[in-house]
Structure 1
Amino acid sequence: MKAYIFPGQGAQFVGMGLDLYEKYPVAQELFERANELLEFSITDIMFEGTPEDLKETKVTQPAIFLHSVIMSMVMGENFKPDMVAGHSLGEFSALVANGTLNFEDGLQLVSKRALAMQKACELQPSTMAAVLGLDDKIVEEVCEATPGIVVAANYNCPGQLVISGEIEAINTACERLKEAGARRALVLPVGGAFHSPLMEPAREELASAIESTLFNVPKCPIYQNVSTTAVTDAEQIKRNLVSQLTAPVKWTQSVRNMFSDGAKSFIEVGPGRVLQGLVKKIEPTAETSSAAL
């Protein structure tokens, strides 16, 4: 069985999507439609902007979504997933790819999500940190014992967990995690505490947008970050998507469940190869590749 997986924030690069735009008329049409819907020329930033321009949350999230979704669309008959999953933002790409959302609605939700997250970041200074070489349980215990808001946010693969929260709490937790034996505990250059309780204002904003959007019955199951198991019920997908902003991304658990449910081949659709590396660390016998056009 084939699992198609979609990357999240951090996979962007200057020039992303230009090859698709130049080679496929359908891609050009979709990119131009995106410029109209977003009311700014995202293609200019994607194709020839600076890395700094691309790092802005309101640009990054729609850019990665567009690259992934348009790539899945130009694959045509070659795109035949038995299941899909996406890392954080990538979950929206996966939901367009499996037919739950249409292109326009998916892009509008991603744009609203990005702006809502940006606003939440500005309300309270916060950050995230990568913790390497420690058991998940130890990281969770240290977070729980640290004063202030700091939580496990991304279960990326065994021995790699990202924590999220208030700046002071993150700094304290990093020191304690190093003392507990972490190989590294490194503060990340991100705009805020994604997948933590500090995203509650963004969650509320996104909830009303999701509630007023049509979700179709998907063509194949999605393994969502929050539930980690196969979901095909549109209402359940909505609930999980709303919860995702303040809940951890359980990527390790999702990949394990996909593998045990029969996925032997994991194909990454979109910029970068980060997810393939994570899959190999989670299930070393799984086949991984980038989507071929």
Structure 2
Amino acid sequence: MKKAYVFPGQGSQFKGMGLDLYQSSDTAKGLFDQANEILGFDITKIMFEGTDEELKQTKVTQPAIFIHSVILAQTSGDFNPDMVAGHSLGEFSALVAAGALSFEDGLRLVAKRAEAMQKACELQPSTMAAILGLDDQKIEEICAGIEDDIVVPANYNCPGQVVISGSLSGVEKACELLKAAGAKRALILQVGGAFHSPLMEPAREELAAAIHAAKFQSPVCPVYQNVNASPATDVDIIRENLISQLTAPVRWTQSVEKMVADGAGVFIESGPGKVLQGLVKKIAGNVELKSI
């Protein structure tokens, strides 16, 4: 049975995250201190002592989850993956854990990504909504049918759970139509904007330059990327898929299905919380689930 390590995205943060690691490992402490220097502010203080509101700021949330996820993997002692994948932001954690990026370069890219996404969110009011209990094809059809507004599927999280993303009016229209089509719930999410939609184009352009400037190396194992749910080891392909990720949907359901088809029997989550274990269980119920 192959081991697949998976890394969570935004929303899995919690107050006190990483404190146990900081206190129990000199290696972890060194990486946390290095993160503060790279970012230019004391992110560890917010992670360990900050309020939920402080942790929710995009410029804090994304680096915090990345830092926690990578340090967990790098200090686990037996990190030996056959394959890795990350959900949205988690793809950066996966790439660093698999040796495709250094911790420093990965953190700088994540900070740049958070800043660029925040700016894109401020350009146009936008949002996301979770759609429960409707098949993917129906959601795609309804979103595509709203021609005068921007609304697209953004996260294929697991069967029966898709997140849509777009302008405020586009998402509201889609929610009404999706409920009328039989969705059990259409829940507007408390997020900063329309992630993984065409409205992130300004952020994609900004991040592309930083990704091209960063030094990538071949990972120690295949990285299953969000954009196409396929394994990649070629540095140029990894780079282009990472750039496309900001405006394209996160194909998590398809990624997990592909990893299982390629022999993954154990999924190990590295990062705060157990969100991905819950999703993997709904996608592939017969695999073993663990946390670091």
Deviation sequence 1:119-147 (CA, Å, 0-9, x none) = 00000000000000000000011101123
Counterpart position of 1:185: 186
Alignment correspondent of 2:174: 173
Partners in 1 of 2:199 and 2:216 — Cα distance? 27
Question: Structure 2: how far apart are the matches of 1:172 and 1:228?
Answer: 29
Secondary structure class of the residue paired with 1:264: strand
Query: Aligned partners of 2:175, 2:254: CA distance in 1, in Å?
Result: 24
State the secondary structure of the residue aligned to 2:264.
coil
In structure 2, the partner of 1:60 is: 61
Q: Tell me which amino acid in the other structure corresponds to 1:15.
A: G
- Partner of 2:123 in structure 1? 123
Gap runs ≥5 in structure 2: none
1:96-245 equivalences in 2 (<5 Å): 96-146=96-146, 147-245=148-246
Shift of 1:229: 1.1
Look up the match of 1:16: 17
State the match for 1:79 in structure 2. 79
Cα distance in 2 for residues equivalent to 1:43 and 1:60: 11
**Structure 1 equivalent of residue 288 of structure 2:** 287
Whole-Å separation in 1 of the counterparts to 2:175 and 2:54: 29
Secondary structure at the aligned position of 2:134 is classed as coil
Measure the CA separation in 1 of the matches of 2:287 and 2:230: 18
Shift of 1:25: 0.5
Q: Which whole-Å deviations, capped at 9, do the CAs of 1:128-180 have from their partners, x for residues lacking one? A: 00000000000011101123000000000000000000001101110110000
Identity of aligned residues (%): 68
- Report SS of the residue matched to 2:141: helix
Tell me the distance in 2 between the aligned counterparts of 1:135 and 1:228. Answer: 19
**Structure 2 counterpart of 1:5:** 6
Cα displacement string for residues 66-122 of structure 1 (whole angstroms, at most 9, x for unaligned residues):
00000001113x111000000000000000000000000000000000000000000
Counterpart of 1:142 in structure 2: which amino acid?
I
The alpha carbon displacement at 1:227 in A equals 1.7
- Structure 1 unaligned spans of 5+: none
Q: Distance in 1 between matches of 2:113 and 2:230?
A: 23
Following the alignment from structure 2 to structure 1, what is the Cα–Cα distance between the partners of residues 89 and 263?
Answer: 24
Equivalent-residue separation in structure 2 for 1:144 and 1:216 (angstroms): 38
Deviating runs (4+, > 2 A) in structure 1?
Answer: none
The residue type paired with residue 261 of structure 1 is D
Number of aligned positions between the proteins: 290
> How far apart in 2 are the matches of 1:248 and 1:221?
20
Q: State the TM-score, normalized to the length of structure 1.
A: 0.98
* TM-score where L is the length of structure 2: 0.99
Offset, 1:289: 1.1
CA distance in 1, matches of 2:256, 2:178: 26
- Give a deviation string over 1:40-78, Cα, whole Å, max 9, x none: 0000100000000000000000000000000001113x1
